[in-house]
Structure 1
Amino acid sequence: MPRYTVHVRGEWLAVPCRDAQLTIGWLGREAVRRYIKNKPDNGGFASVDDVRFLVRRCKGLGLLDHEDPLEVALEDNEFVEVVIEGDAMSPDFIPSQPEGVYLYSKYREPEKYIALDGETLTTEDLVNLGKGRYKIKLTPAAEKKVQKSREVIDSIVKEKTVVYGITTGFGKFARTVIPVSKLEELQVNLVRSHSSAVGKPLIPERCRMLLALRINVLAKGYSGISLETLKQVIEVFNASCLPYVPEKGTVGASGDLAPLSHLALGLIGEGKMWSPKSGWADAKYVLEAHGLKPVVLKPKEVKRFEENLLILTSLYL
C-alpha cells in the first residue's frame, strides 16, 4: 500500500493510501483532517472544509496540482508539505534548498563501492564520494580491527572499571562515575548539548565528504566504536541521508565538536536531514523512508564522532 509522509504546521503525518487513483487534493485534505483530529483545539479549524491549502514536494518545493492522481504525481513514501493559506512555510522545517543541490537533481544511487580501511583513502576518492559516485564498505581487515577495539570497551563496561570518558563524566565531571544503566543516555545528552553550531547547512557534497571522512577515521579500529554502529553509519551514507550540519561553529582548534555533534544528531534520528528523495525533513522520518533506524550510541561512541578536524578537510578540498 502506498504511503506518503506529509508535513502540516510542524507535525509530520504518515498517510497511507489504499487507492493510488486518489488525487493530490485528497492527500492534502486527509493530512489536514488527521492534523485537526490530533490537536486539542482542532488546530484552530472547525473542519477540513474551512481549510484552503497548497501541496508542495519537499524535494525542490515543486507545487503539485490538486487534481493529479497520486500514482502519477508522487513516488511511494515521498515527502510533501501542505501549506495552509495564510501560513508562511516554516524556516525550521525547510531551509532554503542547499547550494549545490543541483548535483543531486538527477541523482542515481551508485553501484560501485570504495573499500575503506582508514589508511588508503585518497583525495580523489574523497571527492568522488562527495559527489555521490560511490558507496562505502569496510575491508575485512578493518572490520576485525574495529571488533577488537570494541571488545576492550565492552570489557571495561562489563567489569565496571572506572575509565575516563567511558564510565565517567567529562571535564570537571571526570571523577563522577556514571552508572552503566545511564551510559547510553549520556551519549545522547552529549550530542544534544554540543549541537550548537549556526548558519546555513553544508552543501550535500561537503556533508557527504564529512561523513565519509568520519567513517574512514573510525575504520582505523582505534576508536572503540562497535562494528554494528559503524555499519549503520555506512548505511546512512550509502542512502545519501545527510544531517543538517551548520557552516559556523568551529575554528579547528581542538576538534570540530559542534559540527560533528550535528552530524551525530542526525544519525540518532534528531534534528533535520536531507536526502535526494525527501528534501529537508525531520531526521527520523528521512531514515525511516530509506528503511533505516536511528543509531543507538553505545558507551564511549559519541566521543568518536565529536573529535577530529574533519570539517576543515571537507571544506578545503
Structure 2
Amino acid sequence: MDGICTLANDKVYDQLIALLNSIEAIYGQKMPVCIYPYDDNTEKIAAELVHRPHVTLYNNQDSIQKWDQFVKDIWDTHPTAQTHWQKIGSSKYHRVGTHRRYCAFDAPFDRFVYMDADTLLMSPLDHIFNQLNHNDWIVYDFQFKDLSHVYSVSSTKLKELFAPERLQTEIFCSGFYGSKKDIFPNQQREILLDYLRQGEAEVLYDMAPDQTILNYMVMRSGISSYNFALSLPEKNATGCCVTSLHFENRDQILYDRGNKLTYLHYIGLSSKLFSRVCAGENIDFPYRDTFLHYRYLYEPEQRPKFTTKAKAYNAPPSLGTRILKKLGLAKK
C-alpha cells in the first residue's frame, strides 16, 4: 500500500491541517495518511482525525521506542554533540522527537512519501511513486547546494568517507522524500552504529539531527537514490522552498516558470508564526495567502480577517520592544 506520512504534535496543528487539506484537495480522502507523533502532545490532532477516517495517528510504541533508542545510541557515539546541546540550553538529546519520522520504515505503508508538517502538496505524487519502481530513495530539492546543514564540513573524515562528487549530488533535505518499508533492517542499523562508534560520528551535523542521520544512513548504506532537481531538464525542474519568491499563484497552486510545484516547504519559518497568524495577528510572510487558503479550506468563515497594516515576519523589533528586552520585560 502507498501513502503519505508526516510528523506533528499540537504545536504545529495549524500547519498540519493545511497540509492535510492540501493533500485532500488533490486526492480527496483516497490517499491514506499517517502522522507520527513528535511527542505526547497530540490531543487536538486526535480530535481532528475523527473527521478524517483516511488519516491515522501512529501508536506503535515498540516501533517508536526502537527508533528513539537508535538515535540516542547514535548521538552517544558523537564526540561533541551532547556538550554542545547542553551549552545552548537543550537536553542531552536534541529534538529526539524529530527522528520519529523513521517509524515510516516500519509501518503502515509499503511505499511512502514523507512530508514535513510545514509543507503543502501542490501536485499528485505519481512521479515520485513511479520512480520508486527504480530507486529506493527519491527526493526533489536543492539541498546539494548547501553541505553545511547536512554534515559537519570541518570534519576531516567527511571527504575520506564520501567522494566529493557524492557530497555534491547525493545530499538531500529531510523535509520531503519517497522511500520504502524495511530498507533499514536491524542488521543494517547495527552495522551503521559500528561505523559511527569507530569514529565516523564526527561527520554528523548536530544542529539538524534527523537530516544528518538520514543522509548518513542512505549514503553509507549505498541505497539507490534519485533527485528530480538534478535529473529533470533545467527548464522543467521547480523549486520548493518559501525562500524562492518568484513562484506564481494560479488558483492556489504555485508554479515555477510555468511548471507546477510538487510541494511548497515553509522552511525556516517558526511554527509560532503560523499560530499567531491563525489567531488573527497580521504578520505577513511569503505565500501566506496560499497557507491560509489550505488551512481554512473547509471553514473559510474562520479565516482571520485582518484590519491592521501587516507587519513583515522578519521585521526588526520596534524601539519600545528593544528597550523592554534590554530591561528583561519583553514577552518571550
TM band (smaller chain): under 0.3
Radius of gyration: which is bigger?
1
Relative to the length of structure 2, the TM-score reads 0.22
Structure possessing the higher relative contact order (Cα contacts under 8 Å, 6 or more residues apart): 2
